[in-house]
Amino acid sequence: RKEVEQDPGPFNVPEGATVAFNCTYSNSASQSFFWYRQDCRKEPKLLMSVYSSGNEDGRFTAQLNRASQYISLLIRDSKLSDSATYLCVVILISSGSARQLTFGSGTQLTVLP
């Protein structure tokens, strides 16, 4: 079983739609959670951190459910510019206090005009 699992999609949604992605992780000791966005042929960039209390950044809302070991990302009022691959990222503190990222394989979103 993969440590971090995401539905690869693709999700094709019309402009203005609300879309949600889920991600599950297997290691209950995971400590930090993020969503990254990756545009085609570019490097991943941090979109937002994910907290147990839930957090919102404009049209984006992230939630963490530690009991069920999943995180979610909700995008409201989708824009064409939201088209990208969204990567779920989980961090474990490993030896020497190194913070090791584990990535999901990404969910591809295409917002259609």
Partner 1 sequence: DVKVTQSSRYLVKRTGEKVFLECVQDMDHENMFWYRQDPGLGLRLIYFSYDVKMKEKGDIPEGYSVSREKKERFSLILESASTNQTSMYLCASTGQAPGGYGYTFGSGTRLTVV
Site residues for partner 1 per CB under 8 A: 31-32, 34, 36, 42-46, 49, 51, 87, 89, 91, 94-106
Minimum distance from residue 47 beta carbon to partner 1 (Å): 9
Task: Kindly tell me which of 4 and 111 has the beta carbon lying closer to partner 1.
Answer: 4
Task: Kindly tell me which of 17 and 55 has the beta carbon lying closer to partner 1.
Answer: 55
Minimum distance from residue 17 beta carbon to partner 1 (Å): 25
Exposed / middle / buried, residue 91 (Cβ in 10 Å: 0-12, 13-18, 19+): middle
Q: What does DSSP say about strands 11-14 and 107-112: parallel, antiparallel, or unpaired? A: parallel
Minimum distance from residue 72 beta carbon to partner 1 (Å): 17
Task: Kindly tell me which of 15 and 39 has the beta carbon lying closer to partner 1.
Answer: 39
DSSP string of 83-105, one letter each residue? -EEEEEEEEEE-GGG-EEEEE--
All residues at 6 or more sequence positions from 52 whose CB lies less than 8 Å from its CB, including other chains: 64, 66
